[in-house]
Amino acid sequence: MLRSVLLVTLLMALLSACQVSSLTSIFFDTPSGTVLFQDDFTDPSSGWENLTNDQFGTLDFFDGYYRIQVLGEQQMLWAGPGMNFVDVRLEADMIKVIGSSDDIFGLICRATDPYNFYFFVISSDGYYGIGKMIDGVQSMIDTRGMLPSEVISQGMTGNHLRADCIGDHLEFSVNGQLLARVKDFDLANGDVGLLAGTFDASENVILFDNFSVINP
């Protein structure tokens, strides 16, 4: 099934980790391959939110992971460390632990506020895609929607995701394999982060680990 439209409800007005006015700018010149930021989520004071809402879900630290729990259908939550990058390579490990395969989870870059960012997502049934949120309106940059790939480990298991945001070039790799390459001009810089959401599932819980921001 091709998924061309993702989620209809954005909850980060309630649960956003930071606003653009409080972002820490990271624009200094560094050699390619330099780690600009990393987190293994063993320290709950590292800058990510700990928030719980009985209706929408939870953002918190759990047993050495960062956990995003999404409650309800057609919902999405994301969190970031509150920084401001231009060109970056993002990497993280993600493990699905609760919920059906009717879900998404992944990485975001260039988040200027809760309603504007790029997202790089997979689903537990083996689909992937690159999309964007612009003024609260979501769309897939590839008009074919989310596409299937055997590279993605399905079900209650782990995947390693990488997103490259370099100028107008956006690339998405899963488990070491490049799956998508697109171009888009809408967003130039912003925060980075982690995302999880649901389609028709009532709950989705993803554990995130080894999050890195690298100078490409």
Strands 191-198 and 75-79: antiparallel
Judge whether residue 158 has pLDDT over 90.
Answer: yes
Judge whether residue 31 has pLDDT over 90.
Answer: no
pLDDT digits (tens, 9 = 90+) for 111-138: 999 899 999 999 999 999 999 999 989 9
Residue 129 lies in a domain: yes
Q: Residue 21 has what pLDDT?
A: 38
Residue 187 lies in a domain: yes
Judge whether residue 18 has pLDDT over 70.
Answer: no
C-alpha to C-alpha distance for 156 and 31, rounded to whole angstroms:
37
Range of the domain at 144: 9-18+34-214
Residue 174 lies in a domain: yes
pLDDT digits (tens, 9 = 90+) for 169-180: 999 999 999 999
* pTM, two decimal places: 0.91
Residue 23 lies in a domain: no
Burial class (CB in 10 A: 0-12, 13-18, 19+), 119: buried
Q: Residue 143 has what pLDDT?
A: 82
Q: Which of 27-36, 44-53, 66-75 has the least mean pLDDT?
A: 27-36
- Which SS3 state, helix, strand or coil, does residue 13 take? helix
Asked if 118 and 189 count as a contact pair (C-beta separation under 8 A), the reply is no
Token couple for 48: 């990510």
Q: Residue 29 has what pLDDT?
A: 72
Residue 4 lies in a domain: no
The number of CA neighbours under 13 Å toward the Cβ of 66 is 32
Which letter does DSSP use for residue 1 in this model? -
C-alpha to C-alpha distance for 59 and 62, rounded to whole angstroms:
10
Q: Mean pLDDT for the chain? A: 88
Q: Residue 28 has what pLDDT?
A: 58
CATH of the domain at 47: 2.60.120.560
Token couple for 160: 């390693």
The number of folded domains in the chain is 1
C-alpha to C-alpha distance for 119 and 203, rounded to whole angstroms:
20
Residue 133 lies in a domain: yes
Residue 1 lies in a domain: no
Judge whether residue 20 has pLDDT over 50.
Answer: no
Q: Residue 184 has what pLDDT?
A: 98
Judge whether residue 214 has pLDDT over 60.
Answer: yes
Q: Residue 23 has what pLDDT?
A: 53
* pLDDT, average across residues 14-19: 43
Asked if 122 and 104 count as a contact pair (C-beta separation under 8 A), the reply is yes
